[in-house]
Chain A
Amino acid sequence: MSCREQPKLRPLSEWQMESVRFTAFYLQGEENLSLRDWWTGIVGDEPDEETTKRKERVTSLVGHFGAGKLSLESQPFRIDLNLQAVIAEGMQIGGFFVLGSFEDVSGQFVELTAKLLTLRSLPSITRIAYGAVLILPVCDRAAGYRQLVPYLRSVNIDAENILDFSYQINRRRPSDSQIANLFINRLNIWSVATIRPLVGTPQKLQPTKAHFACRLQLDINTCQEFEGELSRKKLPTLLDELVVMGKEIAAQGDIA
């Protein structure tokens, strides 16, 4: 799209994924989670690195996956599966390092996560979250703000005269999963990101041309007020529901 073109909602396929995350909060403070077995079960290979911070009770396994780095981390009451673009190694779109298109990467990541959710040694889950950082490259900062206009229809964006814009909102919805009293937090944060690579020797680094992109951070999660365990059978459906909500926001912007 040219810099002067009237901005409109862009096809979902144009959003690129910088990182994606699945988080599960579990009921009891298990100390011996089978993280390594989980990794093998979902990736089918050994991790490249394994680190344990005994004091913080944090264990982390890391390995390459597709165009990114996958990590599986456990800490008290929380398990995170993260996939992140690798700077200088990953795919580059509009100057930004990304994992690939939102639609493609999201599908692969959901497959991985679904495998995790079917593992029998997974503790009882009380809350889950699907998070992602998406970018949509634009020509310059003002074009980025103009591009946000069709996505944020309730906000008056003075694209030519503003800096450091950040809009965050949570429009909560009841879940379609048939689980009583379960609501979904649909947190989304909109901004325009800038990246300015440096080139040269470590002694003399020169900034090069800046790149700009609309940035959307998603944090779609089940509400923490929900009491008790989320049904294991329903977890994959629930995950799909969160992902669909994320896609809806990326496609249509901030809607109720």
Chain B
Amino acid sequence: MSSGATIPLIEEHVSCNPDSNATDSETWKSLRDLLSHYAEKSQRHSLTQQSADIGAPHVNFQVRFLLCYELLCKPEKLEQHSDIHTTKVVRTVVDPSGVAESCTFLEGYIQATENSTTQQLPGNDVMRDVRRVLERLAYLDLYDESDDESTETIQNLIYLYGNFGICEIHYLIVNNEVAPEVAEFVLRILGDIDHAETHDYRRWVLEQVLLRCSSPDLRDSANIGLALMDDPKSIESLQSAIDKESSPFLRELLGKTLGQLENTKNASIAKEDYT
């Protein structure tokens, strides 16, 4: 890990479904253990207590807890906002260097269930957090193979904020409000995440960048993202992109991705026929 400006995000899942034999109390015990683990790490036991106290019984329940901390910043104030469906633990931090203004980070987020279609997160949190994370990535060596944290940071933003996060990422990239190397890095990751909820939107963003961005580097990264995603639904967009691509080199790369997706499509059809 490089400088203290990094924001590592750690994610853990505790889940309990109706088919399992786990009881509600076991779910909450797991959650408490998890929170204790992180609280001990960050020496903030109050966080454990506050979060564990919301132990309402839920039968089909998934807890997604994300802990976000910054080495340079010291916690100043802990707040908890909760309603029936979600509990957010928000930490206000100050940057002792005085460079950054005081800011609030989303520290923990406990989500009701993975199948809910109720909208739960306000847009302001998303915009602020995504922007800050992408800005900070500009100071890191994104392709340091010994350090997966930059990748995990983006992945966790997407797990946390879903399509709202993708929307903000898309906006920042197409409006050149993020460093080019960060944009390229993020586009590749967009294609390399296993997250069904955001799959269609990530694919659409990659296709839009491929078809509309003037930067060949961004188009190249979007192409890599689509290749990693390996979704034949992008075939049409790739064909359009090849038709309008001005760079012969990039056109060749797009052709390779197109071939790969067509193979995937054919393999899928063959598998269906077989079964």
Which residues of A are in contact with B by a Cβ distance under 8 Å? 23, 25, 27-29, 53, 55-58, 75-78, 80, 126-127, 129, 131, 155, 164-172, 185, 187, 189, 191, 217, 219, 221, 223-225
Selected contact of A166 from candidates B56, B116, B118, B123, CB within 8 Å: B56
CB distance from A79 to the nearest CB of B (A): 12
List B144-175 residues whose CB lies under 8 Å from chain A: 163-164, 166-168, 171
Residues in chain B near residue A28, CB distance under 8 A:
200, 204
Inter-chain contacts of B84 with A (CB < 8 A): 166, 189, 191, 217
Which residues in A have their C-beta under 8 angstroms from that of B100? none
In the assembled complex, the Cα of A126 lies from the Cα of B117 at a distance in Å of 13
Q: Most B CB atoms within 10 A — which of A27, A172, A187, A221?
A: A187
> Shortest distance in angstroms between B208's beta carbon and chain A's nearest beta carbon?
7
User: Taking CB as reference atom, which chain A residue is nearest B17?
Assistant: A170
Which residues on the A side are within 8 Å of B123 (C-beta)?
A: 53, 56, 58
- A187 engages B85 (CB within 8 Å): no
A55 pairs with B56, CB closer than 8 A: no
A185 vs B117: C-alpha distance in the bound complex, in angstroms? 10
Q: Which residue of B lies closest to A225 (CB)?
A: B196
11 pairs from A and B in contact (CB 8 Å cutoff): A23-B117, A28-B200, A29-B205, A56-B168, A58-B123, A77-B163, A78-B163, A168-B113, A169-B18, A169-B58, A219-B116
Closest 6 CB pairs of A and B: A29-B204, A129-B117, A185-B115, A170-B60, A221-B117, A166-B56
CB interface residues, B 86-121, toward A, < 8 Å: 112-113, 115-119
In the complex, A65→B123 CA distance in Å? 27
Total interface residues in chain B, CB < 8 Å: 31
Give, as a whole number of angstroms, the nearest-CB distance from B235 to chain A: 14
- The majority secondary structure among interface residues of chain A is strand
B138 on the interface (CB 8 Å rule)? no
B38 interface contact, C-beta 8 A = no
CB distance from B243 to the nearest CB of A (A): 19
A76 nearest CB neighbor, chain B only: B167
Task: Return the chain B residue nearest A185 by Cβ.
Answer: B115
Does B115 lie within 8 Å of A221, measured CB to CB?
Answer: yes
What residues of B have a CB within 8 angstroms of the CB of A191 in the complex? 84
* Complex CA distance for A235 and B108, rounded to whole angstroms: 38
- Identify the closest chain B residue to A222 (Cβ): B117
Residue of B nearest to A223 (CB): B115
From residue B69, how far is it (CB to closest CB) to chain A in Å? 28
- Shortest CB distance B261–A (Å): 16
Question: A28: nearest residue on chain B (CB-CB)?
Answer: B204
Q: Within the complex, what minimum Cβ distance (angstroms) separates A90 from chain B?
A: 21
Whether A27 touches B115, Cβ cut-off 8 Å, given contacts A57-B167, A166-B56, is no
Interface pair A55/B113, CB less than 8 Å apart: no
- Closest chain B residue to A78 by CB distance? B163
